[in-house]
Chains A and B, each alone.
Chain A
Amino acid sequence: MRFTIYQDSLQGGRANNEDRTTYCYSRDALLMVVADGMGGHHYGEIAAQIAIQTLADSFQREAQPMVVDPFRFLQRSMSNAHHAILDYTTLHHLKDSPRTTCVACLIQDNVAYWAHAGDSRLFLMRDGRIITQTRDHSRVRLLIEEGMITEAQAAEHPDRNKIYSCLGSPNPPEIEFSRKMPLEHGDILLLCSDGLWGVTSGEQMALALKGANLLQAIPTLMRQTEIKGGPHGDNLSVVAVHWEQSYIEDATSSISTQTMSQDEVTTKMEEFGRTPAYKSDLTEDEIEKAIEEIRMAIDKYNPKK
């Protein structure tokens, strides 16, 4: 796998940041999560923290190096997160349970799977356009779908922050799943809280990120949005990945999971059996070194019984 990834979370105009983000990857799988703790309830940030930790923990446990069933993984870990929040509530005798939205995306074998509860969103962007996005579990989204109000009215609607599904509420969350989405080279997957998409629309983000390096474009986007959000702006958070085909050879700031677990795959990326990286004479020393290296690899990967 090859990708460039960036995550960021800004406080906006709020007293504290109740958004949490995380990403983790194994050699063959990548997980990204954004959780937006609900400010109307107490300890929103705790709910968000529990959510991302639960997901990250299950990923670390199950991605060996791939998750067996991506949708079941998302389903199970999100509902585990939900129950972990409820357990926390009981344990600390809280009057009301803390709540959080959650959007999580798993990528493996070039296919993306995602799930969400609430109004944190995922956008899939290709060539500066939005290919698909999640549907918010919010009242205004339902009103728009019923044709009662327009998108523009929704942005001003008094109930625009009301959501009907989240983790931690006494009612079980409604978790919505994507379809299997095969990724193409250059695709951008962006997960964000409403603090970001509420101010800078998905379309605007897609345009801003088109062809840009995420490591520079995302911080700019975030800062501009924070300023635009004004003195009372919401927390804003993002995890975005720029997906690169494993077999395409040019990449600059990207992460290649091939090189990650120890020195297992060392630095042989360019050698896909094509690039002539030889052309030097082999000295006695080099022969000895090569043999030593191979023997070490044998001992390491094929321990003698």
Chain B
Amino acid sequence: MAQQANQPLPNGFKLEEYTIDRQLSLGGFSIVYLATDGEGIQVAIKEYLPNSLALRNDGDVKPVITAEHLGAFRYGMKCFFEEGRSLAKLSHPNVIRVLNFFRANDTVYMVMEYEHGRTLQEFIQKHQGHISERFIRGVFTRMLNGLREVHSHKLLHLDLKPSNIYLRGDNSPVLIDFGAARQTLATDQPILKPMYTPGFASPEHYGSRKDLGPWSDIYSVGASMYACLAGCAPLAADERLKKDNLGPAMIRWEGQYSDRLLEIIDWCLNLNHLYRPQSVFTLQKALVETITPPNPKDSNARWFGRIVDKFRKPTK
């Protein structure tokens, strides 16, 4: 059965003290809006609206929730509360801040800070494979500060990927979208499927999920760094389990980035979770160690390669 997409609230809609400016994103579990509060400050509002359980028709404000789905809808709401509850307790510059939480239109809303910027995903797409080591180290070291805070609250992110790492104007990273953090509880609720993103989800995400731990988020961090180098997501972990065709970073980018960085990426992307860095701190420590510059003799080729790349692109 094809699922119908939920209709967003119309632009200009008054939601409590907020005015909806426009829809920012639509997910299977929620809709995110850009809105303005009473003082003219922009915020992001996340509306709990699971596609499969509640349907808002065009022109309506309240979604239709059938009696058979009410139980699951309420259960999902509980997960949404968990997300709010966990985020509310995290006060960290690298983790998105929750500003308000309220109930309206038969569902619930979470108001979060909004800042101008872009996701790492957009950044990667724009810079296709030409992201500097300095940038990667800088962004990831700071992002890991936030992740550490998350883990120290006994919470896993579980859906880390470049599109969930938001970069402010000054390139300082913010972790966003903790929707997966709690949804993973729903494995035996077929209607609210656990969510993950192929390529960034760890092998533990598939299957029984009982081995999920900090190391699972660390796999996703490794995959995100790999994506910075490759310009696209690495091979999905379930495919890798069948046949591991993922070229180690150490081989693919030898000489272009420091050996240490490449080694760290491969370390994080180990299929066996026990062989990965076991804590964010371990990973962070490795990342901030002194950088040994890549082999200088290749620098010319790299520079040349870049120029050639530049000329190549338009002909594609």
Count of inter-chain pairs, beta carbons less than 8 A: 88
Give the distance in Å from the alpha carbon of A288 to the alpha carbon of B101 in the complex: 11
Cβ-defined contact, A291 with B153, below 8 A:
no
Given known A-B contacts A274-B212, A276-B188, A298 and B101 have beta carbons under 8 A apart: yes
B213 CB within 8 Å of chain A: yes
Cβ-defined contact, B78 with A265, below 8 A:
no
B17-25, B55-63, B90-98: which lies at the A interface?
B90-98
Cβ-defined contact, A274 with B101, below 8 A:
no
Cβ-defined contact, A287 with B77, below 8 A:
yes
Give the distance in Å from the alpha carbon of A60 to the alpha carbon of B153 in the complex: 22
User: Which residues on A sit within 8 Å (CB–CB) of B101?
Assistant: 291, 294-295, 298
A297 CB within 8 Å of chain B: yes
Q: How far apart are B193's CB and chain A's nearest CB, in angstroms?
A: 15
Given known A-B contacts A269-B154, A274-B184, A294 and B88 have beta carbons under 8 A apart: yes
Given known A-B contacts A110-B279, A273-B155, A273-B212, A291 and B181 have beta carbons under 8 A apart: no
The chain A residue with its CB closest to the CB of B109 is: A291
Give the distance in Å from the alpha carbon of A276 to the alpha carbon of B184 in the complex: 9
Give the distance in Å from the alpha carbon of A272 to the alpha carbon of B150 in the complex: 11
User: Which residues on B sit within 8 Å (CB–CB) of A294?
Assistant: 81, 84-85, 88, 98, 101
Give the distance in Å from the alpha carbon of A297 to the alpha carbon of B100 in the complex: 10
A68 CB within 8 Å of chain B: no
Cβ-defined contact, A276 with B213, below 8 A:
no
The chain A residue with its CB closest to the CB of B92 is: A301
Cβ-defined contact, A298 with B181, below 8 A:
no
Please indicate which of the listed interface residues A27, A28, A278, A288 has the most CB atoms of chain B within 10 Å of its own CB: A278
B264 CB within 8 Å of chain A: no
Cβ-defined contact, B74 with A291, below 8 A:
no
Give the distance in Å from the alpha carbon of A268 to the alpha carbon of B98 in the complex: 20
Cβ-defined contact, A298 with B209, below 8 A:
no
B27 CB within 8 Å of chain A: no
A window 18-59: CB within 8 A of B: 27-28
Pick from B81, B90, B188, B209: contact of A274, CB under 8 Å: B209
User: Which residues on A sit within 8 Å (CB–CB) of B75?
Assistant: 278, 281-282
Q: How far apart are B131's CB and chain A's nearest CB, in angstroms?
A: 29
Q: How far apart are A79's CB and chain B's nearest CB, in angstroms?
A: 27
A271 CB within 8 Å of chain B: yes
Give the distance in Å from the alpha carbon of A287 to the alpha carbon of B101 in the complex: 12
Bitwise, B193-232 to A at CB < 8 A (1) or not (0) is: 0000000000000000110111000000000000000000
A window 192-228: CB within 8 A of B: none
Cβ-defined contact, B88 with A274, below 8 A:
no
Cβ-defined contact, A273 with B88, below 8 A:
no
Pick from A288, A291, A302: contact of B91, CB under 8 Å: A302
B253 CB within 8 Å of chain A: no
User: Which residues on A sit within 8 Å (CB–CB) of B71?
Assistant: 281
User: Which residues on B sit within 8 Å (CB–CB) of A274?
Assistant: 184-185, 209-210, 212
Cβ-defined contact, A265 with B153, below 8 A:
yes
Cβ-defined contact, B78 with A273, below 8 A:
no
Cβ-defined contact, A278 with B281, below 8 A:
no
Cβ-defined contact, B154 with A301, below 8 A:
no
Cβ-defined contact, A268 with B81, below 8 A:
no
B99 CB within 8 Å of chain A: yes
A144 CB within 8 Å of chain B: no
Given known A-B contacts A273-B181, A282-B77, A291 and B152 have beta carbons under 8 A apart: no
Cβ-defined contact, B99 with A297, below 8 A:
no
Cβ-defined contact, A276 with B185, below 8 A:
yes
Cβ-defined contact, B99 with A302, below 8 A:
yes
User: Which residues on A sit within 8 Å (CB–CB) of B306?
Assistant: none
Pick from B99, B102, B154: contact of A265, CB under 8 Å: B154
Cβ-defined contact, B154 with A272, below 8 A:
yes
Bitwise, A259-292 to B at CB < 8 A (1) or not (0) is: 0000011001101111110100110000110110
9 A-B pairs besides A109-B279, A276-B185 with CB distance below 8 A are: A27-B152, A110-B279, A258-B153, A272-B156, A275-B185, A278-B185, A281-B75, A294-B101, A295-B101
Residues of A within 8 A of B (CB): 27-28, 109-110, 247, 258, 264-265, 268-269, 271-276, 278, 281-282, 287-288, 290-291, 293-295, 297-298, 301-302, 304
- What are 11 pairs between A and B in contact, CB < 8 Å? A109-B279, A110-B279, A268-B154, A271-B154, A273-B156, A274-B212, A291-B102, A291-B103, A294-B81, A294-B84, A302-B97
Task: List the 8 closest A-B pairs by CB distance, nearest first.
Answer: A297-B88, A282-B74, A290-B81, A294-B101, A273-B156, A294-B84, A301-B91, A298-B88
